[in-house]
Amino acid sequence: MATADQEPRIAVFLDYENLAIGAKDNLGSAFNFGPVADALAERGRVIHRKAYADWSYFDSDRRMLTRHQVELVDIPQKMGGSRKNAADIKMAIDAIELALDRDYITTFVICTGDSDLSPLVQKLRELDRQVIGVGVRQSTSKLLPPACDEFMFYDNLVSDDEPKKKSKSKADDDGPTAKTDIGIVTSTLAGLSSSTGTVRSSSLKRALLRKDPTFSEAELGYRNFGALLADLAGKGQIELTGSGDPEVALSGASGAEVDEALTRLVREEGPIPLTGLKTALRKRDKDFNEKTLGYRNFNSFVTAAEARGVIKITGKSDGRMVASPTKRRR
């Protein structure tokens, strides 16, 4: 395997029929390998590129792929046979043979939305290879992204001036979600901090991708991960120390402000039903979100607040009440 100081060596395999049809049906445009090539160039050195299809159906696409040095593997349609299965099988065999024959290739990029190739992804990961998936959002099975180390939606890679078309499809109901919740950043940071101590921005990004391979700062409107962290720091939610690969920590100030608001709330309004506590907090601070403070859910936030002595929970089940902690008599 490649040593740590070497840049990643990347092999790319394209299930071209899946990509071309997905882009045309869901984005209203022809598939363009250029944005994918640019994204991969940022991750390492691409040394192997293959695309699989019956090219008699995609004759106009061949020139575009050739310009990007993609080798075209022709899978002719046969009478009574399945072109689709033949392409999948040939692609899987070629990828496994390459992994076994060339151990210096560290990363395999599987461009498809087809869950039939999930076993290939799993086998490559068993061979200690990183696997990145690429697919059109609406034509990507919900089973495929979790199988990968990272999954990039082609929709996020194409430039804003390329035509896109939103359409209702079966994937709308059972496919990947459309947006990423920014709270996953702070909740993941909290988990890393408690288990490893010092957290670097690079390790935070890797942890986010392990948790959600579809995570992308572009979904949240940021140019890169550093810009996302800088914005969170500017809002007082996290603290950054150093440059390049800075240390990242949750901001103690934001937690103290919430504790103060929570203390004031229960003191002024008396015991509050636990079921209505979040609503009461949001009436005082419409931007309140426990995830930005590093909590997985509101129950975790309440449990931690009680452990810190900020509030006291009484009662059981739906009848639980939130009150100020009882002061001990001397």
- The per-residue pLDDT for range 287-312, each reduced to its tens digit, is 787 776 767 678 778 877 887 788 88
Predicted local confidence at residue 81, as pLDDT: 53
Domain assignment of residue 1, yes or no: no
Domain boundary among 250, 272, 293: 250
Domain count, the chain: 3
Q: What is the mean pLDDT of the chain?
A: 83
Structural tokens at position 20: 């071309």
Contact 250, 197 (CB under 8 A): no
Domain boundary among 250, 276, 307: 250
Residues 106 and 150 in one domain: yes
Domain assignment of residue 4, yes or no: no
Predicted local confidence at residue 109, as pLDDT: 98
What is 180-209 written as a DSSP string? --THHHHHHHHHHHHHHSS-BHHHHHHHHH
Domain assignment of residue 225, yes or no: yes
Residues 278 and 149 in one domain: no
pLDDT tier for residue 125 given thresholds of 50, 70 and 90 = very high
In the three-class reduction of DSSP (H, G, I as helix; E, B as strand; rest coil), residue 249 is classed as strand
- Could you give the strand order of the β-sheet that contains 45-53, starting from the edge strand earlier in sequence? 71-74, 45-53, 9-15, 107-111, 130-135, 150-153
**Mean pLDDT of the region 97-102:** 96
**CATH number, position 306:** 3.30.420
**Mean pLDDT of the region 313-319:** 81
Alpha-carbon distance of 330 to 322, in angstroms, equals 24
Domain assignment of residue 329, yes or no: no
Give, for 250, the enclosing helix (H) or strand (E): strand 247-250
> Of all residues in the chain, what percent carry a pLDDT higher than 90?
42
Alpha-carbon distance of 125 to 113, in angstroms, equals 18
pTM (2 d.p.): 0.63
**Mean pLDDT of the region 215-222:** 87
pLDDT digits (tens, 9 = 90+) for 178-214: 445 677 888 788 777 766 678 899 989 988 887 788 8
Predicted local confidence at residue 50, as pLDDT: 97
Q: Which residues contact 67 (CB under 8 A, 6 or more apart)?
A: none
Strands 321-323 and 272-273: antiparallel
Predicted local confidence at residue 260, as pLDDT: 84
Residues 136 and 88 in one domain: yes
Query: Higher pLDDT residue, 15 or 315?
Result: 15
Alpha carbon 85 to its chain centroid, in Å, reads: 29
Predicted local confidence at residue 252, as pLDDT: 66
Domain assignment of residue 86, yes or no: yes
Residues 102 and 223 in one domain: no
Residues 266 and 237 in one domain: no
Predicted local confidence at residue 45, as pLDDT: 87
Residues 133 and 60 in one domain: yes
At residue 146, does pLDDT exceed 60?
yes
Residues 121 and 23 in one domain: yes
Alpha-carbon distance of 268 to 39, in angstroms, equals 53
Predicted local confidence at residue 163, as pLDDT: 46
> Of all residues in the chain, what percent carry a pLDDT higher than 70?
84
Residues 44 and 170 in one domain: yes
Residues 216 and 71 in one domain: no
Alpha-carbon distance of 156 to 35, in angstroms, equals 9
Predicted local confidence at residue 3, as pLDDT: 43
The answer to whether the Cα torsion of 133, 138, 231, 285 is positive or negative is negative
Predicted local confidence at residue 79, as pLDDT: 54
Domain coverage including residue 267: 252-323
**Mean pLDDT of the region 61-83:** 83
Predicted local confidence at residue 330, as pLDDT: 44
**Mean pLDDT of the region 262-266:** 88
**CATH number, position 195:** 3.30.420.610
At residue 229, does pLDDT exceed 80?
yes
Predicted local confidence at residue 294, as pLDDT: 66
Domain assignment of residue 110, yes or no: yes
Domain assignment of residue 155, yes or no: yes
Residues 49 and 169 in one domain: yes
Q: Which of 9-18, 23-32, 280-289 has the lowest mean pLDDT?
A: 280-289
**Mean pLDDT of the region 46-62:** 93
Domain assignment of residue 311, yes or no: yes
Residues 303 and 163 in one domain: no
In the three-class reduction of DSSP (H, G, I as helix; E, B as strand; rest coil), residue 218 is classed as helix
